[in-house]
Chain A
Amino acid sequence: MSDKLRNAYEQLGLPRLIIIVFLLVLFAVAVIMRMDLAILIKDSITRIGMNGILVLAMLPTLACGVGLNFGLPVGVIAGIVGAVTSMNWGLKGFAGFFTAMVIAIPLAVIAGYLYAMLLERVQGQEMMVGTYVGFSVVSGMCMFWLLAPYRNPAMIFALGGKGLRTTITLDRTFGKVLNDFLGFSVFDIYIPTGLLLFMGIFFVLIALFFKSKAGLAMRTVGSNPMYARSSGINVQRMRTMGVILSTVLAAIGILVYSQSYGFVQLYTAPLTAAFPAVASVLIGGASLRKATIGHAIIGTVLFHTLLTIALPVTQTVLQGADISEIARTIMSNGMIIYALTRAERR
């Protein structure tokens, strides 16, 4: 029995162990090559703050038993519509950012509700259907970006005057508002306080939610739907709630991401939005049936530190070949396969 337990623990820990070792090797190489560690750490912290809420968006669907939310682009698109609309009105700074949120959240609730209704009808195939719903929403919205009635000249194609640009700069609106809020430097490392605070608030809120009555009910639905039903929990309602929550977090997440990145990316860019988030939460140790705030935090920190430092380090060592992109593809998809194949053997 104790052997079995240890075995199970080892299975759980191995991928994380590999990634931690890989990270340490990269840092060691960086030190040996005399690279500027301060920049690497600063960039890593910013990247973690940028992506934290997108990874957090994975938790509600995992908790309520819907599985990995490959349909994350549904929420991401809602967020982008909010951002673009707020920019079209020319709002600046925090006013712009919060207006974008105020527009995005109701859109995400509606989209999430519809998406949840669909997922409710395709139980057992949620991940597959979710992936392609996400893809089709993104490509459908491509037509919207081209034809939508946005008229702000800073946002539409310079030539022809029709359709939004592929990337829109946030310089003059709400770019980096969170990053620069109360920011300070320690040992040449810039700490984007506002960004981390904002992310922290959402992590705490979700943690509190999971401790609340509704959150507990949601987790019960995920771990044992039969038991949940027999103890009087409305299973369908909980699952719907989980999907909506995830979609709303995705919308907020992409706004945080965009303001830190300094650009809003339209058209096909959100197509792959779900994959880094999925990989992060899995690297953090989540499985298809169990996911905690801790998994999201560990996963975000590990995966995004890795992504941030892998590119400069490998480029210093191997001139030319961009091995980090390849490593990212192999690692994130390998992690997803690992999770998909593991869950069956309970």
Chain B
Amino acid sequence: MLEKPTAQVKTPAGGSGVGISDILRNWSVPIFFLVISIAGIIAARLDINYLVNEVVGRFGRNAFLVISLIIPVMAGLGLNFGIVVGAMAGQTALVIVTHYQVEGLAGFALAAVISVPIAMLLGLLVGKVLNRAKGREMVTSMIMGYFANGIYQLVFLVLLGTLIPMKDPVLMLGSGIGLRNTIDLIGLSYSLDRAMDWLWNGFVFTSVGAARLGPWRFPLCTLFIIGILCVLTTFITRTKLGQEMRAVGQDMHIAQVAGINVDRTRIIAIMMSTVLAAWGQLIFLQNLGTFNTYSSHEQVGMFSVAAILVGGATTRRATIWNAIVGTLLFHTLFVVSPLAGQRLFGVSQVGEYFRSFLAYGVIAVALALHAWQGRSSKQSK
């Protein structure tokens, strides 16, 4: 069953057919993962209603973060593992909002506003560093994420309560220094997801013929916001700025000669991505309703990158459809693999490990494939 799609993965550069072969060529990676997902669903004998409900929820939670990766790819910066930094900006805003006990949609909106200047500043710094590491942006942005994590811990574990005056027995550790490990977001929980419940509460619970459908719950307002972001991202690519980013992404040298300020364009791309990531993290956390102060952001970069790659994106080309399809497929696999591991090996942990193996492996294979193709096309010229 797995033979056919792997063969497709190996020959994405061959032939310039139209129609079916063209579709297969462009979407070989997602098709491959679709086959794995279906095999997993069959192996785990999964309840489809459970799966749909889970995947819809996870899609609402993660899609915004995944879409925030698109703009830097366009500007030739590759996959921005530095969205971790944006996530930290979002969490900083959440800490502030929770401290002042602003609740509901107002609290969420306030957090979104507060996170913008923080994310812009951090994005500016990341952009400046990445401009000094041209050709190595991805590995640098990844290490930037780890580095920023150290700074984040320093601020919230050591400086808060010592250098930064703050008193809050609910949020902070008993010693009065540093934040607790988990922060409860009761006031903000589902504040965005259910903001449009006055229209329709998003519940699907019907039956078509003999088949029972539901209960599925759609996070209506979040999906609406994601839709707006998709339109906006498409719009940006058509503006002058978007065209400049494309030019820079194609060839920095030619863009420079054409009078585009390359460094500035790249910094703007990273700043946009960082702000979007901050908002994405807010959406992610209001859905979860609680957050691990020191670890919620850590894997954001990796999981988002893996998702967009599963959707068929490369380090030089990523579309909204890659992001959407990738998020759906990656999270289907995420739901399915522990259950499949339980069924096939009798140990659910095998599935858990398979899940992280998948995330890492997808990134490794996609990067390798791309670098490989890039080289062979260069050689053939």
Contact = CB atoms under 8 A, between A and B. Distances in A.
B4 interface: no
A189 interface: no
Contact of B371 (A129, A143, A344, A345): A129
A341 B132 contact: yes
Contacts of B375: 121-124
Interface residues of A, number: 42
Contacts of A143: 350, 353-354, 357
A163 interface: yes
B238 interface: no
Nearest to B376: A121
Interface stretch (B13-21, B63-71, B228-236, B362-370): B362-370
Contact of A321 (B132, B149, B177, B371): B177
A125 B345 CA distance: 36
B364 A136 contact: yes
Given A136-B360, A341-B129, A147 B350 contact: yes
Contacts, number: 132
Contacts of B371: 121-125, 129
Contact of A344 (B135, B144, B175): B135
B368 A341 contact: no
A122 B177 contact: no
Contacts of B356: 139, 142
Interface in B275-328: none
A62 to B, nearest CB: 15
Contact of A118 (B140, B360, B363, B368): B368
A326 interface: yes
Given A330-B147, A333-B147, A341-B133, A127 B139 contact: yes
A132 B132 contact: no
B140 A341 contact: yes
A51 interface: no
A340 B349 CA distance: 37
A142 B345 CA distance: 14
Contact of A330 (B154, B353, B354): B154
B361 A136 contact: yes
Contacts of A127: 136, 139
B215 interface: no
Contact of B353 (A125, A142, A320): A142
B178 interface: yes
Contacts of A129: 364, 367-368, 371
B301 to A, nearest CB: 12
Contacts of B129: 337, 341
Contact of A333 (B143, B158, B357, B372): B143
A124 B78 CA distance: 13
B367 A326 contact: no
Contacts of B134: 344
Contacts of B142: 128, 131
A121 B372 contact: yes
A142 B149 CA distance: 26
B134 to A, nearest CB: 6
B354 A121 contact: no
B272 interface: no
17 contacts: A121-B375, A127-B136, A128-B138, A129-B368, A132-B361, A138-B360, A139-B357, A142-B357, A146-B345, A146-B353, A163-B349, A321-B177, A329-B147, A340-B136, A340-B140, A341-B129, A344-B136
**Shortest 10 CB-CB contacts between residues of A and residues of B:** A329-B150, A122-B371, A330-B150, A132-B364, A333-B147, A142-B353, A136-B360, A341-B132, A135-B360, A139-B357
Interface of B: 129, 132-136, 138-140, 142-144, 146-147, 149-151, 153-154, 157-158, 175, 177-178, 345, 347, 349-350, 353-354, 356-357, 360-361, 363-364, 367-368, 371-372, 374-375
Given A129-B368, A147-B350, 13 more contacts: A122-B367, A124-B135, A124-B374, A132-B360, A136-B364, A139-B353, A139-B360, A140-B361, A142-B353, A142-B356, A147-B347, A330-B151, A337-B143
